[in-house]
Structure 1
Amino acid sequence: MTARFGMRVSALLVTTALTVGAGATAAFAEPTAPDISQATEQRTLLKGSTTASYYWDDASGRAGDTGLPASGISMRKGLAASPSWPLMTEGYVIYKGKKAPFFIGDRGPGNPSNNGIMLDLDAKTFADLTGGTFNSSTLGVDGNGGAGHIKVQYVITKWGNGVGKKNHPVAFSTGAWGRKDTNPAKPPVDMVAVAAKKAEAEKAAEAKKKAEAEKVAALKVAAAKKAEEAKAAEKAVAAAPATLDANVAAAAAETDTSHTGTALALVGGLAVVGGAGFLSRGRIRKAVRR
Structure 2
Amino acid sequence: MRKPAKPAKPAKHAKPAKRVELKPTGRVALTGLAGAVLVTGITVGTITKLTAEPAAAEQIPAAAARQEAGAPTTVESKAAAPRALLTGYTTASYFWDDGSGIRGDTGAPASGKPMQKGMFASPSWPLLTKVKVTYNGRSVVGFVGDRGPGEPSHRGIMLDLDTYSFRYLHDGGRPASKYHAGTDVGHLKGVKYEVLEWGSGRGEKGAPKPFGT
Pairwise same-fold verdict (TM > 0.5): yes
Alignment of 1:162 with 2:198, yes or no, is no
Q: How many angstroms apart in 2 are the aligned matches of 1:104 and 1:51?
A: 16
Displacement of 1:141 in angstroms is: 0.8
Contact residue 87 and residue 162 of structure 1 kept, 8 A: yes
Q: How many angstroms apart in 1 are the aligned matches of 2:177 and 2:150?
A: 24
Alignment of 1:47 with 2:93, yes or no, is no
1:80 alignment counterpart: 120
Root-mean-square deviation (CA), in Å? 1.5
SS at match of 1:141: coil
2:186 alignment counterpart: 148
**What is the count of residue pairs matched by the alignment?**
132
Alignment of 1:57 with 2:57, yes or no, is no
User: Scaled by the length of structure 1, what TM-score is found?
Assistant: 0.44
1:186-244 CA distance string (max 9 Å, x none):
xxxxxxxxxxxxxxxxxxxxxxxxxxxxxxxxxxxxxxxxxxxxxxxxxxxxxxxxxxx
Q: How many angstroms apart in 2 are the aligned matches of 1:136 and 1:161?
A: 31
**Structure 2: where are the runs of 5+ without partners?**
1-79
Displacement of 1:62 in angstroms is: 2.1
Identity %: 52
Q: How many angstroms apart in 1 are the aligned matches of 2:81 and 2:185?
A: 29
Displacement of 1:161 in angstroms is: 1.7
The structure whose RCO (Cα within 8 Å, separation 6+) is larger is 2
Displacement of 1:90 in angstroms is: 0.2
Displacement of 1:165 in angstroms is: 1.6
The residue correspondences of 1:187-206 to structure 2 (distance < 5 A) are: none
**Structure 1: where are the runs of 5+ without partners?**
1-39, 175-290
Q: How many angstroms apart in 1 are the aligned matches of 2:198 and 2:119?
A: 15
Alignment of 1:110 with 2:150, yes or no, is yes
Displacement of 1:61 in angstroms is: 1.5
User: Scaled by the length of structure 2, what TM-score is found?
Assistant: 0.59
Q: How many angstroms apart in 1 are the aligned matches of 2:201 and 2:119?
A: 17
SS at match of 1:44: coil
Contact residue 90 and residue 159 of structure 1 kept, 8 A: yes
1:120 alignment counterpart: 160
Aligned partner letter, 2:204: K
Q: How many angstroms apart in 1 are the aligned matches of 2:203 and 2:87?
A: 17
Contact residue 114 and residue 173 of structure 1 kept, 8 A: no
> Which protein is richer in strand relative to its size?
2
SS at match of 1:73: coil
Displacement of 1:162 in angstroms is: 2.7
1:108-165 CA distance string (max 9 Å, x none):
000000000000000010011112431227x1111x4x11111201000000123312
Q: How many angstroms apart in 2 are the aligned matches of 1:168 and 1:88?
A: 16
Structure 1 ranges of 4+ moved more than 3 A: none
SS at match of 1:134: coil
SS at match of 2:97: coil
1:65-123 CA distance string (max 9 Å, x none):
12110001111000000000000000111101111111000000000000000000000
Alignment of 1:66 with 2:109, yes or no, is no
SS at match of 2:99: coil
The residue correspondences of 1:1-290 to structure 2 (distance < 5 A) are: 41-131=81-171, 132-136=173-177, 139-142=179-182, 144=183, 146-151=184-189, 152-174=191-213
SS at match of 2:175: strand
SS at match of 2:103: coil
1:271 alignment counterpart: none
